[in-house]
Chain A
Amino acid sequence: MLLAAASARASTATYLFDGRPLALTHVSHAAGAAAVGINDPGLRSLVRSLGAVITWHPGERYVLITTGAAQVISFSVGDRGYDVGPLSATAEFAPYLVGSEVYLPLADLLRSLSLAPRSDGNATVLQREITSIDVRGSAQQAILVARGAGSLSPRVASESGDTIVYAFDGFGSTLEGSRPVDAGGVRSMQVRVTGSVRNPRTLVTLTLQPGTRHDPPRSNDGDFEVAFGGGGSAPPLLAGGASAPVAAAPVATMTPVAEPTPPFASASPPDGTNASAAPAGTTIATVGGVSVQNGSDGATVTIPVVGNAQFAWHRLRAPDNRFWIDVQNAHLADGPLDQPEPDPLISVRVRQIDPQTVRVALSVAGSKNISVSPSATGIAISVGTQEVADGPHFGSGSVGTLVSSNEPQALVTPVPPDEYGQNDAGATWKFGPHSTYVPTRPKLIVIDPGHGGGDVGTTRNGVTEASLTLDMAKRLQAILVARGWQVQLTRETDVDVKRTTQSAQEAISDGYRSTDAQDLQARDDIANNAGARLFVSIHVNSFINSGPSGTTTYFSKPDDVPLAQAVQHDLAATLGTKDDGTIKSKLYVTLHANMPAVLVETAFLSNPDDYAKLNSADWRQRVAESIADGIDQYAKQYPVPSANQ
């Protein structure tokens, strides 16, 4: 497949990594450039220790490395272009095949993994690097975010009334320097690298205003995050979601003060070009005279560029409305710029963030529509006054004599409701149920307390989902019976349902089906065999972090939609939870129930507020009453034909 470069004699290179020798044995020096084979045991070990995973099989074009920070590094056989997350770069040479092994440009690979080779006497140390430190925030809150090689978990080296020092042991950095912050009680930030090449230590010192408090640090996909805010005994600054909910612009970003990572010394890579930081055969472009024009329909930022250059833009979603564009292989002719701007902008900053890159960063007052228009003479960024929903978060293109952009039109457009508005159960089947199902027992409702027995479901502090769902199911049973319904529970005690039914075993004929599926099928069998009118499964939601909360009714089939809408209608309002609406999903129990069926996720055990509610018997009683009201409402709206009554 693809390209097969000339084979090269493999050799061994030895490094020091985390204080231990690391031998790369599949190293090629073809044409003087260092390349490493993907099957190199040393490389595999290195990647593993960084929490990263390589995905590649012989015959495949892409070599994909997923880092511990959930970022994808993608090399492509026969192509010098490679991507590190949203950023595109050009490698010293294209990855190539030798036999059935693909060889990657070693310097580019190490750089993309945030590793810097540094000389120490006769040894070369692969130093873990902190590649970005950013403080986002407003006057009330600030969040320090750091990213680097592997998962970051610094220690607090010292803490006094007005300073706190985080020590990243084993990490070097090119981000040394000081910056003012003035947000969230943080006055300033200083980054300093101490120690030796073999044992580096990066110290991040924050100077605080009196009374500033901070959350315990936490890891967010390998990133280090810590939030700061005003004094007092307020709740945690971060709710525990997947990302920091601070509605403000960046207030301080540490950028490299030197060449980020020196490339390996190499004469010329296999394709014959000279290895250098800039793409071969190109001259550096010049950026100068960035200006802003304001008008009634918004603002236009004009970035004049002389010469050819690639650019990449990025946008953070609301509420962190930042937009920046990096002009690569470019030099800033003027000094840095940092000026406030009227609405729809807040500010514009221009600076040289590394020797090859000029960054123009915009703080935007809200989720405005933004478009980027490259031309032969530069780039125009138009920021409109219209609020938009969401859209791409990055794009790239080129400017100069060869102009291109992967998003030449509006970059951010409202999301089409038919494709993305998934909360549209009514729209999908707006003419009501298509049901041909006829219950043989029209007064029977089967209530399914989720989980049980060997499967306790989600748990927190000894509270199990299985016990909560059984409690709520029994409450619902009592209410419905009092209202004249017949009710059957799929389980009355803490047991696996599959052990209570014979039919489940018969219904499961596929050998690979798991015991979990047998359990779920057994629940459906109870309702299906009884000819029940409705099936209602009660669950408690959970997630891997404490951010999400609320009440949702899930459904799978067209028949389920009116029941889901009726049950969900007043549920969240009655319970005082967040209304997460009705959601379609291919859930086993609702899909395989013959009758209209729903699965109610009453609240999140993983969320502190919802957890408190779930622990209240009064609240669980209200869950039962509200679901019963929804069932009654549905039955009134969609009566069973009289012949079946």
Chain B
Amino acid sequence: MKSSRALLLLLLFVAVAFGAWKFFSSRGPGAADHLTVYYTKLDGTTLGRWPVSLRTQQSGESDIEHLHNMVLYAAVQAVAGPPSDVSAIRFPPGTHVLGVNVHGSTATVDLSKDVTSQGGGSFGETGEFKGLVYTVTGVPTIQAVQVTIEGSTVATLPGGHLELDTPLRRSDF
């Protein structure tokens, strides 16, 4: 009697554990159907935000693939900025995302060299990268953003101010 009760309890435990595993694994890294894109307002510091729709994880799309896709989507949206009728600090015209990579909790965002055509002040650099970092680190599990330009790590932009050769975090702004 005791052994059958123990077996029943064991089966119950296994069933609950399996159910919990299925529930959490099926959520994947991004169950949200929208992503918040941040931009820095023209006061140079406060953030605006707007949601963009995001496709939920497809069957056959692994968690790693889905994470990569979300990071790419977030980075491209952040670099494009909000609709043109919204006042925002924007990346220099032509700046676009060449690709992304994810290693652990750090996302590498490779930008086109157009980003080096800055106006020349701390204002633009800080505002642009702050929006990018807040947006990309809004993707679940991403904590930091390493910026590269045309595939290369740079210490700063030419004549620039912001240190870019180590990953940027929200706490940097």
Q: Which residues of A contact B (CB under 8 A)?
A: 1-3, 53, 55, 57, 59-62, 64, 66, 69-72, 74, 76, 78-79, 81, 83, 85-86, 88, 145, 147, 220-223, 241-245, 316-317, 320, 390-396, 406-407, 415, 419-423, 451, 455, 457-459, 465, 510, 512-514, 516-517, 520, 539-544, 547-548, 552, 554, 556, 580-581, 583-589, 591-592, 599, 601, 604-606
Contact = CB atoms under 8 A, between A and B. Distances in A.
Contact of B49 (A62, A85, A391): A391
A514 B121 contact: no
A544 B119 contact: yes
B133 to A, nearest CB: 10
A602 to B, nearest CB: 11
B155 A422 contact: no
Nearest to B91: A70
B119 A606 contact: yes
Given A64-B76, A512-B153, A552-B44, A242 B96 contact: no
Interface string B78-94: 01111111111110110
Nearest to A465: B120
B80 A70 contact: yes
Given A242-B87, A423-B45, A407 B73 contact: no
A69 B163 contact: no
B158 A542 contact: no
A521 B173 CA distance: 21
A415 B49 CA distance: 10
Contacts of B86: 243, 316-317, 393
Contact of A520 (B44, B53, B126, B156): B156
Secondary structure of the A side of the interface?
loop
Given A64-B73, A516-B159, A601-B122, A390 B48 contact: yes
30 contacts: A1-B61, A55-B99, A60-B72, A61-B65, A61-B66, A70-B80, A70-B90, A83-B52, A85-B83, A86-B83, A241-B87, A316-B86, A396-B53, A510-B155, A512-B155, A541-B120, A541-B121, A543-B121, A544-B90, A544-B118, A548-B44, A552-B122, A552-B123, A585-B126, A585-B130, A586-B163, A587-B122, A587-B162, A588-B155, A604-B121
B161 A588 contact: yes
Contacts of A554: 122, 126
Contacts of A587: 122, 126, 161-163
B42 interface: yes
Nearest to A541: B121
Given A548-B44, A599-B122, 4 more contacts: A422-B130, A455-B158, A544-B90, A591-B163
A59 B92 CA distance: 29
Contacts of A76: 55
A112 B53 CA distance: 16
A290 B126 CA distance: 46
B50 A393 contact: yes
B121 A55 contact: no
A78 B66 CA distance: 14
Given A517-B165, A587-B162, A588-B155, A55 B97 contact: yes
Contacts of A391: 49
Contacts, number: 243
B150 interface: no
B102 interface: no
A457 B47 CA distance: 27
B124 A585 contact: no
A392 B165 contact: no
B146 interface: no
B98 A60 contact: no
Contacts of B55: 61-62, 76, 79, 81
B27 interface: no
B152 A512 contact: yes
A542 B92 CA distance: 13
Interface string B97-129: 111000000000000100001111111111000
The residue in A320, A392, A580, A585 that gathers the most chain B C-beta atoms within 10 A of its C-beta is A585
A420 B88 contact: no
Contact of B50 (A64, A83, A392, A556): A392
A540 B161 CA distance: 12
A420 B33 CA distance: 23
Contacts of B161: 539, 585, 587-589, 599
B77 A72 contact: yes
A584 B173 contact: yes
